[in-house]
């Protein structure tokens, strides 16, 4: 068996190799790497958020049975040119850089690594909630610019506390669950809106049936829903207006879930006290974008899932599926099981 380990600057080829070695997989491996994150991801050949050249990938894949990658463009063109390819493992929660339909047509199994960055994104989300509510980045910048703003101690401008507050979470998946657990430990009352949820929730966490009810009751709202075609613009001007004046809104999920113009309007008017966003309407964000001129918003460049542990978790999840497949078993994280069922 021959495996191409196509790494990048985050999930390094050496990490992929170590994960394969830990599984004692008997295979020839070839290591290559693309230029992400130095070169941004883009749409390539019908797939999203990919990096690398299709022709270079095709050349490297010749004779390979397995592609183990994070960001390579697994397009229809690549699949057509690599008839020996039988398994593609994508080290991401969603295999958006693989043409799953084309792979299925050709009998190529595709696996992903769900939950690989759940812990990292949880920590970043909590940091963003606290940074936005406490305006840490803004106070840091002012102090370094020589401003000592003791007037921020005035009652009418001091920040809210999480302790004793009601925090609403839109989405209760792997990340939302972890965020909720920490918020309860801090002393917040947590509301959850998730139409797919059907389980008993721990003490301190309450499910609400309507998003509007969550928004009306929550002084902090953090978005953790998975993006779908149905929930584009889930939080817009109408929804933000339902939140109590002086609230905080955070999005570390997906940009399509939030109307950013409505967010800026609410910050400009003072209806929202603060906001924090790790996912942005354009990435990279243009230097003249309105978000960069709007007060009281903390932004980071889509880094919530970035941690050393996340890279290793992804590699080990993927290697475990490769090992299961190589030994005639069923991989755990298959996104096109119909290939196995044929």
> So which residues are the catalytic ones?
254, 283, 302
Question: How far are the Cα atoms of 20, 40, 254, 285 from residue 31, in angstroms, in the given order?
Answer: 12, 21, 31, 32
* Direct distance between the N- and C-terminal alpha carbons of the chain, in angstroms, rounded to an integer: 22
Whether the CB-CB separation of 304 and 117 falls below 8 Å is answered with: yes
Beta bridge partners of 192: 169, 207
From the list 338, 327, 235, 249, the residue with the least C-alpha distance to 294 is 249
Q: What is the rounded CA–CA span in Å between residue 125 and residue 132?
A: 10
Q: What is the rounded CA–CA span in Å between residue 342 and residue 48?
A: 28
Side-chain half-sphere exposure of 245, counting CA atoms within 13 A: 6
Give the three-class secondary structure for 74: strand
From the list 227, 189, 188, 232, the residue with the least C-alpha distance to 207 is 189
Q: What is the rounded CA–CA span in Å between residue 39 and residue 191?
A: 39
Dihedral pair phi/psi, residue 144, rounded to 5°: -70, -20
Task: At 262, list the tokens.
Answer: 């409505």
List helix spans (H) across the chain: 13-22, 54-61, 76-80, 100-105, 118-134, 136-144, 174-186, 211-217, 237-242, 260-269, 308-326, 338-341
């Amino acid at each position: 068996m021959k495996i191409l380990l196509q790494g990048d600057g985050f999930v390094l080829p050496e990490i992929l190799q170590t994960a394969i070695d830990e599984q004692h997989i008997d295979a020839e491996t070839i290591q290559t790497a693309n230029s992400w994150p130095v070169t941004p991801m883009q749409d390539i050949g019908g797939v999203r958020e990919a990096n690398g050249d299709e022709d270079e990938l095709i050349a490297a894949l010749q004779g390979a049975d397995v592609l183990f990658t994070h960001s390579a463009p697994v397009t229809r063109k690549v699949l057509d040119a690599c008839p020996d390819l039988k398994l593609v493992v994508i080290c991401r929660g969603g295999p958006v850089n693989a043409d799953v339909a084309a792979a299925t047509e050709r009998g190529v199994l595709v696996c992903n690594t769900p939950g690989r960055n759940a812990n990292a994104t949880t920590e970043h989300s909590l940091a963003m909630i606290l940074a936005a509510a406490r305006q840490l980045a803004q106070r840091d910048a002012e102090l370094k610019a020589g401003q000592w703003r003791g007037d921020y101690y005035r009652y009418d401008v001091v920040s809210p506390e999480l302790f004793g507050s009601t925090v609403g979470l839109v989405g209760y998946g792997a990340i939302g669950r972890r965020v909720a657990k920490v918020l309860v430990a801090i002393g917040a009352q947590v509301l959850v809106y998730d139409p797919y949820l059907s389980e008993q929730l721990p003490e301190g966490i309450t499910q609400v049936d309507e998003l509007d009810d969550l928004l009306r009751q929550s002084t902090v709202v953090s978005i953790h829903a998975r993006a779908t075609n149905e929930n584009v613009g889930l939080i817009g001007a109408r929804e933000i207006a339902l939140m109590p004046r002086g609230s905080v809104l955070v999005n570390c999920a997906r940009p399509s879930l939030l109307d950013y113009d409505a967010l800026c309007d609410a910050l400009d008017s003072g209806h929202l006290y603060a906001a924090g966003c790790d996912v942005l309407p354009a990435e990279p964000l243009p230097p003249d974008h309105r978000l960069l001129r709007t007060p009281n918003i903390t932004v980071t460049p889509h880094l919530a899932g970035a941690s050393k542990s996340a890279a290793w978790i992804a590699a080990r999840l993927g290697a475990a599926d490769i090992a299961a497949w190589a030994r005639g078993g069923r991989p755990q994280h298959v996104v096109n099981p119909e290939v196995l069922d044929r």
